[in-house]
């Protein structure tokens, strides 16, 4: 299988709306090439430019398609006082938080160049995170019935990475949120991913290792892992 031609972007210090607009621009660009009647897509598909975006957001809560209103614990006024934005978006999944110390990864791929299997795509995103965490001696796993990546300790489960995607004409957007040095108190404003169970919580790499990590180094390692798992050729 040929490698996916991919452009890598790091976005920091931008409002969520700005990142959303950038992501939508890239997403629509790929769809345009697929729909262009003047282009023979089977011949041109090897030239499609895919995108991997890593972003460290300002504090923001995003509500996916499955979000129930009671999963937002704090009022919008309280969020404003805490300088946390609130957005309703088109990805799958429930409510989640993005903020400093977290790698939010947006995979804007023509997934059809890989396969036509949404579940496999999500499983391979999970595989990227599990492989990355292993490099830091954090043993993580999938949890049956739940999307994302978890750390288990004596039947207690801590979610370290949330995943939510959206596909249109097999072009993906959104992706994952990996807690590296994330301030976990901010998750108290929500029922994270809509999971309200006594043996399930959220965690971060720093929380598991009891030490902050060098954020840029984790980003570099994760970029490499995503490239390996999905067969990306960065330009």
pLDDT in tens, 113-151: 999 999 999 999 999 999 999 999 999 999 999 999 999
pLDDT for the residue numbered 41: 53
Q: Is the pLDDT of residue 2 over 80?
A: no
Rg (CA), the chain: 18
Task: Provide the domain count of the chain.
Answer: 1
Is residue 17 within 8 A of residue 154, CB to CB? The reply is no
Q: Is the pLDDT of residue 158 over 90?
A: yes
Closest CA to 89 of 161, 11, 175: 175
pLDDT in tens, 223-234: 999 999 999 999
Catalytic residues: 193
Average of pLDDT values for 177-206? 94
DSSP code at position 72: B
Q: Is the pLDDT of residue 37 over 80?
A: no
Of residues 104 and 34, more confidently modeled: 104
**CA–CA separation, 28 and 49 (whole Å):** 12
pLDDT in tens, 71-103: 999 998 999 999 999 998 888 778 999 999 999
Q: Is the pLDDT of residue 154 over 70?
A: yes
pTM of the model: 0.93
What percent of the chain shows pLDDT beyond 90? 78
Q: Is the pLDDT of residue 47 over 80?
A: no
Q: Is the pLDDT of residue 44 over 60?
A: no
CATH number at residue 160: 3.30.930.10
The domain in which residue 227 lies consists of: 4-234
């Amino acid at each position: 299988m040929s490698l996916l031609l991919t452009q890598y972007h790091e976005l920091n210090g931008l409002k969520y709306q700005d990142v959303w607009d950038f992501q939508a621009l890239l997403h629509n660009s790929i769809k345009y090439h697929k729909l262009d009647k003047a282009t023979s897509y089977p011949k041109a598909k090897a030239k499609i430019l895919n995108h991997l975006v890593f972003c460290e957001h300002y504090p923001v809560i995003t509500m996916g398609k499955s979000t129930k209103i009671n999963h937002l614990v704090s009022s919008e006024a309280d969020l404003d006082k805490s300088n946390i934005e609130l957005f309703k978006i088109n990805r799958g999944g429930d409510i989640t938080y993005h903020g400093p110390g977290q790698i939010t990864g947006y995979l804007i791929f023509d997934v059809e160049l890989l396969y036509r299997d949404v579940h496999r795509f999500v499983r391979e995103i999970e595989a990227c995170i599990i492989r990355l965490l292993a490099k830091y001696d954090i043993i993580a796993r999938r949890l049956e019935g739940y999307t994302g990546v978890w750390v288990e300790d004596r039947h207690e489960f801590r979610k370290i990475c949330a995943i939510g995607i959206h596909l249109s004409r097999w072009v993906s957007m959104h992706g994952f949120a990996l807690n590296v040095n994330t301030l976990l108190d901010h998750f108290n404003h929500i029922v994270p991913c809509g999971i309200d169970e006594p043996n399930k919580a959220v965690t971060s790499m720093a929380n598991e290792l009891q030490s902050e990590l060098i954020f840029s180094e984790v980003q570099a390692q994760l970029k490499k892992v995503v490239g390996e798992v999905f067969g990306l050729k960065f330009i």
